[in-house]
Amino acid sequence: MSELVINPGTELRNSRLEIYHFRTRLVLLSGFVLGVFFLLFVRLFYLQVWQHRHYHTLAEANRISVVPTAPSRGIITDRNGAVLAHNYSAYTLDIEPSQVGDLDALIDALGTVVEITPKDIRRFRKLLEETKGVDSLPIRSRLSDEEVARFLANSYRFPGAAINARLFRQYPQGELFSHVVGHIGRIDQDELDQLQADGSDANYRGTDYIGKTGLEQSYETYLHGTTGIAEVEVDANGHAMRTLSHMSPVSGGNLVLKLDARLQEVVYRAFGDNRGALVAIEPATGGVLALVSKPGFDPNLFVDGIDPQNWQELNDSPDHPMVNRALAGTYPPGSTFKPYMALAALTYGKRRPEQAIFDPGYFRFGGYTFRDDKPEGHGWVDMYKSLVVSCDTYYYMLANDLGIDNISAFMRQFGFGKPTGIDIDGEVAGVLPSQEWKLRRFGQKWYPGETISVGIGQGYNAYTPLQLAQAIATLANNGVMFRPHLVDYVEDIVTHRRTVIEPQPLRTIDVKPEYLAIVRDALVGVNKEGTSAAAFAGAGYVSAGKTGTAQVVAIKQGEKYVENRVSERHRDHALYVGYAPADNPRIALAIVVENAGFGAHAAAPIARKVFDYYLLGKQPEETGEENSDRSHTAD
């Protein structure tokens, strides 16, 4: 008897057979159940044993977020410790565009608790365009404590917006150092690619800013420092739960410059409203004492991304404030070229110092008349007088005698037409005319007539104020040329170890000391009894120098340059190169004052103020506009 009894009323069919069928199917299903469970077990084995390492890695990657801590950027000071660039901590209101649906609505809403100007919005839009909205971007910076409090009380209303404390770069001296210190700005795509190519992108995780111009750019590797890293456990919403490990960032090194901020300011004031550039160099080291390009601009505008309106103003200004004239402006040297011409004459044996020529007020060559600045001429002129009165005719003749090959070979030694290698970017080469240069540039041969105007620093001559300064510093340093450099040393703020930017002697120029002495003697004469004597009257030291005037537009044959008739932008540039004290020079400089007329009037007085301040500590009086009387002595 089976242990199972079928319901008696329905037992019509062969119940045993039926139960047999049923149990067969139940066994089949049990087999199916076992098979499926086995399959699941195999799957678990595959995930948990075979692929364990892979999923373990993924889980750790989920869990651990490496949070970079940006280092504090190095501080830039002048030689006396005056701060030129530093950092301060402030609050910014940041928006993460990817987290926000309606940006306009959010910005409008934020405007109710924090002041947001149209300028802020324009700047934000520009950043958004540049970064394609992947980063968190500041909509407002430098929030007041009250604004921070107001935002935080309402922050639940603004998903995607957050307050962050951040270090800001500030340039307390404003436009005074815009062309030297430069500025930082947000890292753009090109810079990011470059960082990746250099393999230093890891060190820039967490850094939004990079040096864009000036020292900020060229000393970026020193200033930036080393990014710290914190390993943080995060949840699925990205909230940090706890810190697993931590490596502090190492602040960037501080730059200490050769530059003297107060001297720089003296220079800046001395230029008044004029445009131009000045470079002052310590002849014995090549250290740059002052480097000014006027007008400048406020580098603080660029730190957070410049707003489009300011950007347009700076770009469209006819004064080109963004151009660093000291490095990128090229000017004909005018008569400041003459001392080197005189040295060339001595070196190549074309003139003896006492050998005089007669100047009738002009020099005729090949049917052209080259006029002297003094129409009636200087009469008999020897080398000393040629420099002191700046006689053009003397140098027309000399240039013709030397020939262009000798001139360019000699001038090349002084660094003309070649970048000096100063420690900031943006330097241009200028033009040292030569036969090869002309062939290369214009595909034409050199005409001897072109040599004549080269002799007085006109013609194709075009040099940067920095090159002029380097040349005169070399002359002042008895022919030993140094690479100009702005930075004295970089100081590690932890170890206080200094990395000194060593003076680099580039070369010693092949000129006899007695020839140098002759020319230097004449340059002392220029300041004592020559073209710049008025500017240096009563100076408490002996200085040497040379004035110059550079034509901006060529004057037609037989026409006379009358300053008042020429539009302001076409007036001559005033130049001055010089050094002091004459016997043991501590400072050499080159000045270009754009469209200011004669060098003796516009440029030499600036040199006087610089020397007075640097050598005697004398602050120039504020009311010194000496351009009122314009007597017509030659420059």
Partner 1 sequence: MKKTAIDPTPPIKRVTRFLTAHVEAKLLGAILLLMAVGLLIIYSASNQNLGRVLAQLLNMLVALAVMYLFANIPPHYLQRTALPLYVIGVALLICVALFGDVVNGARRWLHVGVTRIQPSELMKIALPLMLAWYFDRYEATLRLKNYLIATALLALPVALVVRQPDLGTALLIFAAGCYVLFLANLSWRIIAGLAIAGAASLPFVWSLLHDYQRQRILTLLDPTQDPLGAGYHTLQSMIAIGSGGVLGKGWLHGTQAHLEFLPERTTDFIFAAYAEEFGLFGGLVLLLLFMLAIARGMVITANAPTPFTRLLAGAITLTFFTYAIVNMGMVSGLLPVVGVPLPLISYGGTSLVTICLGFGILMSIQTHKKLVQS
- Contacts (Cβ under 8 Å, ≥6 apart) of 189: none
Question: How far is the C-alpha of 477 from the C-alpha of 287, rounded, in Å?
Answer: 13
Q: Which CB, 59 or 202, lies closer to partner 1?
A: 59
CB-CB contact of 71 with 226 (8 Å): yes
Minimum gap (Å) between residue 47 Cβ and partner 1: 4
Closest CA relative to residue 232, chosen from 69, 71, 63, 70: 63
- Degrees, nearest 5: CA angle 387-613-255: 110
Are 202 and 225 in contact by the 8 Å Cβ rule? The answer is no
Of 99 and 309, which has the nearer Cβ to partner 1?
99
Phi, psi of 218 (to 5 degrees): -70, -25
Please answer whether residues 490 and 254 qualify as being in contact, where contact means their C-beta atoms are separated by less than 8 angstroms.
yes
CB of 51 to partner 1, least distance (A): 5
Q: Which residues bind partner 1 (CB under 8 A)?
A: 3-7, 10, 12-13, 18, 21-23, 25-26, 29-30, 33-34, 36-37, 39-41, 43-45, 47-49, 51-52, 54-56, 58-60, 62-63, 233-237, 241
Could you tell me which residues come within 8 angstroms of residue 488 by beta carbon, excluding any fewer than 6 positions away? 79, 256, 257, 258, 287, 500, 501
Enumerate the active-site residues: 335
Q: What DSSP designation does 155 have?
A: G
What the block records as the tokens of 325 is 């004239």
Phi, psi of 11 (to 5 degrees): -80, 80
Of residues 5 and 197, the one with the C-beta less far from partner 1: 5
**Minimum CB distance to partner 1 smaller for 63 or for 262:** 63
Residue 29 or 542: the one with the smaller Cβ distance to partner 1 is 29
**Distance (Å, whole) CA 387 – CA 11:** 140
* CB closer to partner 1, 36 vs 537: 36
Rounded distance between C-alpha atoms, residue 372 and residue 351, angstroms = 20
Residue 56 beta carbon to partner 1: minimum distance, rounded to whole angstroms? 5
* Residue closest to 589 by CA, chosen among 598, 599, 597: 599
Closest CB to partner 1 among 115 and 235?
235
Quick one: which of 185, 177, 210 has its CA closest to 297? 177
- Shortest spacing between CB 229 and partner 1, in angstroms: 20
Separation between Cα atoms, residue 501 and residue 193, nearest integer Å: 29
The encoded tokens of residue 591 equal 């000045």
Least CB distance to partner 1 at residue 64 (A) = 9
What are the backbone dihedrals phi and psi of residue 598, each rounded to the nearest 5 degrees, phi first?
A: -70, 140
**What is the rounded CA–CA span in Å between residue 527 and residue 182?**
35
Q: Count of CB atoms within 10 A of residue 339's CB? A: 24
User: Of all helices (H) and strands (E), which one includes residue 28?
Assistant: helix 15-45
Structure tokens at 89: 């901590």
β-partners of residue 370 are: 363
Residue number with CB closer to partner 1 (55 or 368): 55
